[in-house]
Each structure stands twice: as structure tokens, then as C-alpha cells.
A and B are shown apart, each in its own frame.
Chain A
């Protein structure tokens, strides 16, 4: 049932891409922006900003990874679709 598999792959890709898009909105960016020296100063705020930046960086990387995974799934679905059209898949 290639069409079912294609649909599943596309649905997964869509969900992954959507999650990736949410992460691309950078959920912690506004927090970082508000956590500057004009809000508070000292060792704790300094450590805070470092932790936040690291967390945001990990989320960015996770978002990129999701987009890549979605792309791979879509490619796979395209291939299956082509094979199906060409009659290579029963």
C-alpha cells in the first residue's frame, strides 16, 4: 500500500516541520532580550543569561534537526510516489 505509506510519511513530515517552525520562533529569545543589564546586574544574572543562551541554542539546533528530518521524510515520500507512478511498486 504505497499510497498509505506516502500519506503517513507526509503527515509525519508535516508534524515535524510544524514543531520545527514553533522552535524557529525562538521561545526563549524574548526572555533573553529582557534579561539584560538594564534589568539586573551581578553574577547570578550573568549565569542566568549564559544558561538561557545555551538552552536557546539547543532549541535552535533541535528545530533545524526537525526541519531536516521532515525534508528527508518528504523526499522519501516523493521517491515512493515516483516509483508508484512508474509502476515500480506493486
Chain B
């Protein structure tokens, strides 16, 4: 082996990187004739990686030609354990030899087998207290043995729980939750476990829990990840759609995993797109088995809650997720066409609004940044048009649109409050409607409350985006009147009665524009700008034309 020098720790990192690259290359597939040449390059790289580069590294690391003992010195040991837990490191060496991983794997397998036996009985006798007690005892034993194993590993400087590679996936999953793994390591381990579970045992047979009732390996793995958001995200970035959706017995845990792993609380827009966009594409072509049994959720329903905070990325912000508007819109329509997904989106649309709560709506010059409002307006119009085109006229659809309308108006009003540097929560925004504004809205038959959403059907003016504009303009003017920035009778200038034209949204839009122009000499520049921004975002002539035609 013609090498002059090397750093064993870095070589191991290199090997990990190489394996990860191998996984990435192996996942790339295409049977398109135009991709033949590309697939050839990918396959060549993958083969070189597997048959030359990885064996080269294994030989250097394994034989250690510099003659050093396989055990690392203390300085290295601190460096790899400084991450707060075990991390991926290197093959078993002399240090790991003192921990009998294979024996531990057998112990874990035995415990897992006992647990599965009890679990299977519980499926048929779910109220049996004695069985529940047995299950709890086995769980305690698993926790104790896992902690013993972890302590032994730490004592001997063992860097990785190799027993989990030897144990069955179910046993490994049960032990995994008791080990102090870093987020990245946990994600990788879960990914490998799930893949091994899908591939089956060495003889190609399915593992036992595949056929048993109750939680299977995937359910347990997903539940562990739900408790670790960063690991959940890393896992979702690695796992294939088929492994994610065609594994767990319980679809609620898959839905939870998606929500946690793509939550705007800790994931940015691009990362959420990396996870959700490919899943949305895949799911449209792959209906989930069992989705018609009346018990299992449909594919759209499973993913809908996770997608809701990112609805704008299926429309106005599609390019942020690396797809075209039409592709995002197709996915949105696929979601809205499913009653379960529609209900899930309606129920979780508040999360989206909470996310906007933290979005600055005022620019550096103190004026409203209209990009956010335009995205909101675009999404609202898109949802409306999709529901209309697909003739979805249920109460749930109506509630969704009404909720979007009212909450969006609330955000616009909140942004227009003087001195407010960030948006206020949507319901607070609506909450600041003055009595004068409420009376005006009542007169026009617009109820600015989500509770009345289903009662007001498709809205007084035939277009909920226009309703949003009316609510927001009325709210902003009402506040300006309260501050003394506008005369008390300013709202009387807005006449929305006796609409005559064929296209009500267009007519209301024209009247709103006229009203705002009339107010300009009566109010300050900031209020006028806020009114203009809202009117242009929501009373948009283009969307009127789409809706009226």
C-alpha cells in the first residue's frame, strides 16, 4: 500500500463520506432513454466507489501499515465523544473487542421477542391488565440492558453500538431510544434500520414483526424520531418515499413525523421543500395501500398537515421549492380534492398564520412590505380557484377559505398598526377591529369571525379575496379614525351597496380603489400606503378576471 502518511481519524471520516456518497448515487434512478449516458456515469462512479475506493480505505484502516495500535489515544477519544453522545466512527477495533456486541445483540433479540409476543396477545385482548404489566416489565428490562450496554461502551471507549447492527431491526429500534446518540447519528441509524427491515433477514425473509399486530419496527423508529425534531428532519432527508409511507402500521405516526420534521419552528423553507416536494410528487403517483379501508388515512391526508404551513410554496413561492407553479398547483388540487386532507389543512391553517406572526411585515422605511401580503393573496386566490374548479363546495372547503380570508385580513390590519414592527397574530389583528369598523362590516354582511365562516358560504361579494380586502381596509380605516387620523365619518365614503355589474369582485375592487384615493388627502402617508398595499394585494384586477371568468 503506497502511502507515506495518514490521519486515521480523518480517513474514517473520509470512509463515512464515501459511503454516504454511495448511498446517494445508488438512489439515483432513471429509465428514460435520454438519461442513459447519465446513468452510465452514475453507475461507473458507484462501481468504482464500491469495488475500489472503499476497499482501499478499508485496507489502510484495517491493516494500519504505520504499525500503530488500533486503539485511539486519549486526545482523539475526547474529540469524538465531545458531541454529547456516541457518533459514527470506525470499524470494530481492539477497544470494541472488549465489548461483546454479538452477545448483547442476542440479549436484545430475546427481549424484543418477548415484547413482540406480549404485544401480539394484546392486539386480541387489549384490556388485559396482566399483559400490560408484562409489557411494562419487558420495557423496563430493555431500558436497563440498553443503559448497561451504553455504559459499557463508554467505559471501553467503544464508539458505536455495533450490537444494533447484529440485532434484529425490532430489537435495535427498542434499544435505540435509550442510547444517547447525536441527531445526525440517530437519523442515519434509523435510516439504516428501516432499510434493513425492508430488505429482510440474511435469507431474504421478512422479520417477524412484519406480520405481527401492534407496532412494528417502523412505528417504533418513527415515534423515536417524533421526539427529536432535528433528527426527524435529517431522517426525512435520507429516507425514500416508499420506505417512509409503506412501513408503519399507524399512519398517524407518519403524519406526526412529517409535521415535526418539517415544522417552520426549526426548519427553513428550502429544507422543508427538500423533504415535502419530492414526497408530494411521489404520492400523486403512488396511492397508499389500504387507503380505501375507511380506517387508514389517504395519502393526501397523511401529508396535508405538514404541508399547510408551506401552502404558499405550492403557489406563489413555488420556485423556492424548485418546482413550477403548475406543478405546485397540481399538488394543491390533489390535496384539496381529498376530504381528509381538506379537513387537515383547515384544522392546521392556524399554524401557518402563527408562522407569519414572526414574519416582519414592515420594510426598513416603515412601510408595509407587500411581498408577504401578495404571497398571502396569491395563495388565497389559488385555493379559491382550485376549490371552484374541482367543484368542492363542502362546509370544510368553505371554512378553509373563510379562515384564510379572515386571518389574512387580520394580519394586514395588524401590520398597519403604527409602531408595530412585526405582524401581530391573525386573531389579534381581527380583534383590533373597532366597533365602527364592525358595524360597517355587519352592514355589508361580512362576518369577521371564523365561527361564522360556514354560514357566509362563498362570501357576500362572490370572492373571498375581495372580502379580505374589505375587512382589512375597513379595519385599517377604523383604527385611523380612532387615532384621530381620519374624520369620524370616513367609512361612510365607502359604498358597497347595490352592486350592479356582472362581476361583483371587480365592482367591489373598483369601489375600494376609489375609496382609498378619496381618503388620500384626509390621512397621513403611512396609513394611505397601508391601504394601497392591501387593496393592490387583495383587490387584484387579475384575480378578479380569473374568478369572474
User: Which chain A residues have a beta carbon within 8 Å of chain B's beta carbons?
Assistant: 12, 14-16, 18-23, 25, 27-28, 30-31, 34-35, 38-45, 48, 51-52, 55-56, 58-59, 61-63, 65-66, 69, 73
Most buried by B among A16, A39, A65: A39
**Contact status A41-B37, CB under 8 Å:** no
Quick one: which of B25, B44, B48 contacts A27, CB cutoff 8 A?
B25
**Contact status B7-A62, CB under 8 Å:** no
Q: State the CA gap A27–B21 with chains docked (Å).
A: 6
Shortest beta-carbon distance from B493 to chain A in Å: 45
Q: B6 near A: Cβ within 8 Å?
A: yes
Interface-forming stretch among B10-18, B374-382, B407-415, B509-517? B10-18
Residues of A within 8 Å of B502, CB to CB, are none
Q: B28 near A: Cβ within 8 Å?
A: yes
Q: B72 near A: Cβ within 8 Å?
A: no
**Contact status A19-B17, CB under 8 Å:** no
Q: B549 near A: Cβ within 8 Å?
A: no
Quick one: which of A34, A44, A63 contacts B14, CB cutoff 8 A?
A34
Residues of B within 8 Å of A12, CB to CB, are 32, 34
> 15 more A-B contacts (CB under 8 A) besides A39-B6, A58-B44?
A12-B34, A15-B32, A18-B278, A22-B24, A27-B24, A39-B10, A40-B7, A40-B11, A41-B6, A42-B2, A44-B2, A48-B53, A55-B41, A55-B45, A73-B34
Q: State the CA gap A48–B60 with chains docked (Å).
A: 13
Shortest beta-carbon distance from B225 to chain A in Å: 24
Question: With A34-B10, A66-B38 in contact, do A23 and B56 touch (Cβ < 8 Å)?
Answer: no
Q: B74 near A: Cβ within 8 Å?
A: no
Shortest beta-carbon distance from A73 to chain B in Å: 8
Quick one: which of A44, A55, A69 contacts B56, CB cutoff 8 A?
A44
Q: B457 near A: Cβ within 8 Å?
A: no
Q: State the CA gap A43–B7 with chains docked (Å).
A: 16
Shortest beta-carbon distance from B289 to chain A in Å: 23
**Contact status A43-B2, CB under 8 Å:** yes
Closest partner residue, chain A, to B52 (CB atom): A51
**Contact status A69-B34, CB under 8 Å:** yes
Q: B3 near A: Cβ within 8 Å?
A: yes
**Contact status A58-B30, CB under 8 Å:** no
| Interface CB pairs A-B, < 8 A, 8 | A23-B38, A38-B10, A39-B11, A41-B4, A41-B6, A42-B2, A43-B2, A56-B45
> Which residues of B274-301 are within 8 A (CB) of A?
278
Shortest beta-carbon distance from B258 to chain A in Å: 20
Shortest beta-carbon distance from A4 to chain B in Å: 16
Q: B139 near A: Cβ within 8 Å?
A: no
Q: B327 near A: Cβ within 8 Å?
A: yes
Instruction: Give the size range of B's interface with the partner.
Output: 35 or more
Binary interface encoding of chain B residues 40-65 relative to chain A, with 1 for a CB under 8 A from any of its CBs, else 0: 11101100100011001000100000
Q: State the CA gap A73–B22 with chains docked (Å).
A: 30
Q: B1 near A: Cβ within 8 Å?
A: yes
**Contact status B45-A34, CB under 8 Å:** no
Shortest beta-carbon distance from B30 to chain A in Å: 5
Q: State the CA gap A56–B205 with chains docked (Å).
A: 37
Residues of A within 8 Å of B25, CB to CB, are 27
Q: B75 near A: Cβ within 8 Å?
A: no
Quick one: which of A38, A40, A66, A69 contacts B60, CB cutoff 8 A?
A40
Shortest beta-carbon distance from B252 to chain A in Å: 30
Residues of A within 8 Å of B6, CB to CB, are 39-41, 45
Closest partner residue, chain B, to A14 (CB atom): B327
> Which residues of B490-515 are within 8 A (CB) of A?
none
**Contact status A44-B1, CB under 8 Å:** yes
Quick one: which of A40, A42, A48, A62 contacts B41, CB cutoff 8 A?
A62
**Contact status A22-B28, CB under 8 Å:** yes
Q: State the CA gap A30–B20 with chains docked (Å).
A: 10
**Contact status A15-B30, CB under 8 Å:** yes
Q: State the CA gap A82–B4 with chains docked (Å).
A: 64
**Contact status B4-A59, CB under 8 Å:** no
**Contact status A16-B42, CB under 8 Å:** no
Q: State the CA gap A62–B1 with chains docked (Å).
A: 33
Q: State the CA gap A39–B14 with chains docked (Å).
A: 8
Q: State the CA gap A56–B21 with chains docked (Å).
A: 11
Q: State the CA gap A56–B7 with chains docked (Å).
A: 24
Question: With A39-B10, A40-B3 in contact, do A23 and B28 touch (Cβ < 8 Å)?
Answer: yes
Shortest beta-carbon distance from B55 to chain A in Å: 12
Q: State the CA gap A27–B1 with chains docked (Å).
A: 27
Residues of B within 8 Å of A41, CB to CB, are 3-6
Closest partner residue, chain A, to B13 (CB atom): A34
Q: State the CA gap A21–B321 with chains docked (Å).
A: 12
Closest partner residue, chain B, to A59 (CB atom): B41
Closest partner residue, chain A, to B7 (CB atom): A39
Q: B487 near A: Cβ within 8 Å?
A: no
Residues of B within 8 Å of A18, CB to CB, are 278
Question: With A34-B13, A40-B7, A48-B53 in contact, do A62 and B38 touch (Cβ < 8 Å)?
Answer: yes
Q: State the CA gap A39–B11 with chains docked (Å).
A: 6
Shortest beta-carbon distance from B67 to chain A in Å: 16
Q: State the CA gap A75–B404 with chains docked (Å).
A: 37
Q: State the CA gap A74–B32 with chains docked (Å).
A: 15
Q: State the CA gap A27–B49 with chains docked (Å).
A: 12
Q: State the CA gap A19–B42 with chains docked (Å).
A: 11
Q: B364 near A: Cβ within 8 Å?
A: no
**Contact status B37-A31, CB under 8 Å:** no
Q: B129 near A: Cβ within 8 Å?
A: no
Q: B322 near A: Cβ within 8 Å?
A: yes
Residues of A within 8 Å of B14, CB to CB, are 31, 34-35, 39
Residues of B within 8 Å of A38, CB to CB, are 7, 10
**Contact status A52-B17, CB under 8 Å:** no
Residues of A within 8 Å of B30, CB to CB, are 15-16, 19
**Contact status B4-A42, CB under 8 Å:** yes
